[in-house]
Structure 1
Amino acid sequence: MRDVSLNPVRPFGHELTELTWLDDPAIAPTLVMLTSGATRVVVAPEIGGALAAYYESTPAGPLHWLRPATQGAFDERDPLRMASFPLFPYCNRIRDARFQFDGGMVDLNGNDVRFAHALHGNAWRSPWQVGTRTERSVELHFEHEPDSQRPGDWPFRYRARQRIELIGGALRIAMSAQNLSERPMPFGMGHHPYYPRTAQTRVFANVQGMWHADADVLPTHLGPHPAVEALRHGMSPDAFALDNNFANWSREATIAWPDEHRQLTMTADAPFDHMVVFAPANDTQLCVEPVTNTTDCFNAVGMREQVGGCVLQPGEEIAAALNWAPRSG
């Protein structure tokens, strides 16, 4: 875990946001609450298998390690406004919602009219089933059955799982997927966590290069960028307007709030060999996403270790885990 300076700049507790939706009788029964000591994780299986909150319960209120879900996220069943959500069977965008694979065209147009390019796969748009659960863990399951009558539907059958667990104060998400089709399936996965963003927030990570992007946030080429060096020394989310993939990171990143005396270190197993930073200018959003593939990986030209993703053979399964370890003081 990276140890960064925790010199105080302003009072502790910027993100002591109350979770009013926990008391909403229409919402509370749909949630799964995990507890370990003072740490809580709230899971919203019906909203894309997403996390609604990850926080420490304090006398002053919940201190959030991830940006908590809004009431609007529940009202509109919108995973994009949750704390984090799973990405299956690919991460981020596919240009024009189509790509060539195995001698044919996979056309995903129409799967979500809000976006010109296919976005984040399909598992985040559907409810997940709750499996085994304990006080500290829960298993979620999602199975996709292709529907040829549904425009832009993912044409491969697959099963996805998440095991979400608290180990002390740390959060662990073990993710897996299995190709249930009778033919090979292109594949990628990831998680999409949002973090609290303050004027003093810093992001630390070792990366080898950045995928530059066009106006549609689709990658054009892999190369140097000042953000690569800035991440090594602690990058302010305000330093650049980013929505970019970083290739071949060390599978460890730290989000630090030195003004609040705390930090959160994210680590990932292979093949989460790629990282996305979403830090738009003049905004409150900050994402540091562990993913197995770059944006538009099914169309991208480059070496496999630069592009990521894989092809799952019939019956083949892939599994890897993500961890978030908090530190305060």
Structure 2
Amino acid sequence: MSDEDITLTAGDAEVTVRPGNGGRIGGLRIGGVELLRQGERYGCFPMVPWCGRTREGRFLDGGTVRQMPLNAPPHAIHGTARDGAWRTARVTENEAVITYELTDPWPHPGRVTQVVALAEDGLTLTLAVETYDDSFPAQLGWHPWFHRNLGGRDVQLEFKPAWQEERGADHLPTGNRIDPRPGPWDDCFGMPGGVDVTLTWPEQLELKVTSREEWVVIYDEQAEAVCVEPQTGPPNGLNTLPRLVTPLDPLEATTTWSWRRL
């Protein structure tokens, strides 16, 4: 099937899926109100086969040091799948399944599948990476750009992490866990019970971002948007906390955004 845009509907919720633009969610409208920042680079894109920054674009793959392009010098950031064209596998009124074949510069063949399922009161995103051949380390995650302001009111963030990853001058975790500090953030937090972050636009909407994964990056240093990014490991995780994808053990993660009107 093609890589043309897909529109899903459920009640007064509408989602645009853009397979041809990195498999991203191009828009989420609730009662006609757009929640995601618009633009080719925004919406909500999948981070795969790694999340956040990988130090100097290098990671250890078995006994081999691999080098990825430095798309955020001096590091490589957010994986490769957001830059490629995905293909549509299946679409119904409220669900889409899209796929992406890992290719250069990633050194291993593999398939990424994203399932986008819309309900009247929530959106569930599931990502999986599988390999039919050799094993490799990988990460999965999502990078949504939520509008900071809706209806003239700025969003309020509420979450209770167990720790914050100390961030070094190179923007990467140092390996030390510290007590959570006040924002603004471009930081990774640990939530061992699962990611649970509430965004509240006063008098508009409350939206909860949840996941069984225990890592979330919060980025709120831009005036236009706030990012809440559930992921399977911390930034530079290909080096510090690799998750191995094997022919018998794919890597899979899910996040749900649930909302209610205020």
TM-score with structure 2 length normalisation? Answer: 0.90
Q: CA contact under 8 A between 2:11 and 2:119: conserved in structure 1?
A: no
Q: Greater Rg, structure 1 or structure 2?
A: 1
- The one of 93, 118, 123 equivalent to 2:81 is 123
- Counterparts of 1:1-329 in structure 2, within 5 Å, are 30-57=4-31, 62-65=32-35, 67-70=36-39, 73=40, 81-108=41-68, 111-113=69-71, 115-145=73-103, 147=104, 153-182=105-134, 184-198=135-149, 200-227=154-181, 240-249=183-192, 250-258=194-202, 260-269=203-212, 272-280=213-221, 283-300=223-240, 307=241, 309-329=242-262
Select the structure that is richer in strand: 2
Q: Percent identity?
A: 25
Q: Offset of 1:107 from its aligned partner?
A: 1.4
Q: State the TM-score, normalized to the length of structure 1.
A: 0.73
Q: Whose helix proportion is higher, 1 or 2?
A: 1
Deviations 1:254-285 (A, max 9, x none): 11112x3321011113xx210000011x6222
Report how many residues are paired. 256
Distance in 1 (CA, whole Å) between partners of 2:219 and 2:89 is: 32
Q: What stretches of structure 2 of length at least 5 have no aligned partner?
A: none
Comparing 287-296 with 319-328, greater Cα deviation is found at 319-328
Show the counterpart of 1:26: none
For 2:159, give the aligned amino acid. Answer: A
Write out per-residue CA displacement over residues 185-236 of structure 1, whole angstroms, 9 at most, x where no aligned residue: 0011011111121364211122111112123311113332443xxxxxxxxx
Unmatched 5+ residue regions in structure 1? 1-28, 74-80, 148-152, 228-238, 301-306
Q: Which stretch shifts more, 135-144 or 315-324?
A: 315-324
Give the conservation status (yes or no) of the 8 Å contact 1:262–1:326.
Answer: yes
Distance in 1 of aligned mates of 2:175 and 2:253? 27
Say if 2:7 and 2:15, in contact at 8 Å, map to a contact too: yes
SS of 2:44 mapped into structure 1: coil
Change (3 A) 1:93 1:159: same
Question: 2:47, 2:141 within 8 Å by CA — same for their partners in 1?
Answer: yes
Counterparts of 2:188 and 2:156, CA distance in 1: 18
From the superposition, tell whether residues 114 and 261 of structure 1 become closer, same or farther in structure 2 (CA, over 3 Å).
Answer: closer
RMSD (CA atoms) = 1.9
